[in-house]
Amino acid sequence: MEDNGNKIEYDLKESRDLERLPSQHQGQIQNVHLEGLIFQYEDTRNMSGLETISAGWIICNSWAGIAATFALAIVQGGPVTLVYGPILMCVLVGACAVTLAELASVYPTAGGQYHWVSILAPKRWSRMLSYCCGATNVFSWIAICAGIAIIVPQLCLGMAVFWNPGYAAQPWHAFLVYQVVNVLVLAYNMYLLRRTMWVHDLAFFVSISSFAIIVVTCLARTAPHFRTTESVWTKFLNSSGWSNGIAFLTGLVSPNYMYAGIDGAVHLAEECKNPEVVVPRALMSTVSIGFVTSFVFAVIMMYCTNDLEAVVTSATGVPVFEIWRQATRSDVAATVFLVLLILAAVFALNATHQTASRLTWSFARDDALFGSRWLGKINEKQQVPIAALLFNFVIMFIIGCIYLGSTSAFNAFIGTGLILQHVTYAFPAVLLIMRKRSPKWLPKSRTFKMPPVLGWAANITTIVFAIITIIFYDFPTVSPVTGGSMNYASAVIGVMMLFTIANWFGHARKHFHGPRLQVLLD
């Protein structure tokens, strides 16, 4: 303890030490911040607030996320899932974002969720729970990277099939495009991104402009041949074989995908200045802008689509391309829109590589991984975690090789991304509730603060939604289930658990330590 005039500082080695504060100081906590971590220096943080918000947005790129995953939603609910899904996701994921934003306003680090777990967890479970949350988050971000990367070849090959009907797309074609795009994005992140952070602002501008161009053009070309209001707002399509309730819940993967990587801004906290203010703003901006663009996009696309059957059975394998053809009555316009969607995917992949590498670097910085000695370093010349970028790239390369052998296995891996992310949101939410959202853990002086009732509701909703995703996102998309239609996400998660356990007993159990706390009292 140190007395500094009218303020008292307690240097706490572990989160459990908060409980040992003298009773007279329990209600006087003014600020809590992390100690024991080697943060990136302020003068090396070169992302502005706008660039951080843009990066957080472009990772999700909500309207593009829905556009790229139309197929599943059309089969499992159709217009109802596409129209009401974004509304439901705004509420559910919005609650997750509030939970993250409150914690990020107090503990802004690249580690994010697993650091918060280390702080909030009881003495006995702190290291273990923090490690589990961190490993889960690392896996989830690699899965999301792979999920975005595969969108690029799927769209490119779909366009090739349309313009050259004699062309038969093969898995190895998609594999090559997947790997080329990953190599290009890796190289950009290693050697150029640090000097061109404005690329996120450019990506944001291109994404919003593309959204506006597509929506306006489709409206202008379709009028006055819109579908009926009843067919858009009340028509439920279900060819999955499941009951309507299960089909709707499993179909929520599509609207939920518009918020894949919502915690991206959290892991960029040590890239920007004033992160305790910027990161919460980025989170809430992503949710609000994402809802407006995705909801408007989904509704208008449904009004502009005359033949949903043709969309589902499109030979290109890209349903949104057929929607744009119907809406514009122009193959060229639909192709231009598809190019804009590909560009949005590349921008998203670029930001996702950056974010995923910062998370891996942070986890290694805490000595949680084999090879942390190298993975936890920032390259002095490029000022980026090159080893962490390469580590993630190698895993993504291996995942791409799986695509050659089994697209089902590949899809199962990328399908784990959303599930695992929501699990990592639930970890700190559970602990916050256990701590009764006390000022000891969420100081009243924090920059982002919700009314107590809304804070409690957000934490509880975050946990409930995580349970829903664990159950229903593991369901096969169709019934009866065959070997080809089986959802192997649960098996993939099991394999991830084996790697996590092996790394814990082989390395992390001896070396990994979560962050310390410093509490400042009036």
Report the 3 state secondary structure along 263-294.
Answer: CHHHHCCCCECCHHHHHHHHHHHHHHHHHHHH
Cα separation of 341 and 335, whole Å?
Answer: 10
Q: What is the pLDDT of residues 206-242, one digit of tens each?
A: 999 999 999 999 999 887 667 778 878 888 887 777 8
Total number of residues shown for the chain:
522
Of 120, 122, 117, nearest in space to 132 by CA: 117
Counts of helices then strands in the chain (DSSP H, E): 22, 6
- How confident is the model over 44-94, as pLDDT tens digits? 566 788 888 888 889 888 898 888 887 777 778 888 888 899 999 999 999
Residue numbers of the chain with a pLDDT score lower than 50: 1-33, 36, 41, 43, 520-522
DSSP 8-state assignment for residue 473: T
Contact 276, 61 (CB under 8 A): no
| pLDDT value for 250 | 85
pLDDT at site 26: 44
Task: List the beta bridge partners of residue 31.
Answer: 520
Rounded distance, CA 487 to CA 165, Å?
Answer: 31
Question: What integer pLDDT is reported at residue 305 of this predicted model?
Answer: 86
Mind listing the domains of the chain with CATH numbers? 49-504 (1.20.1740.10)
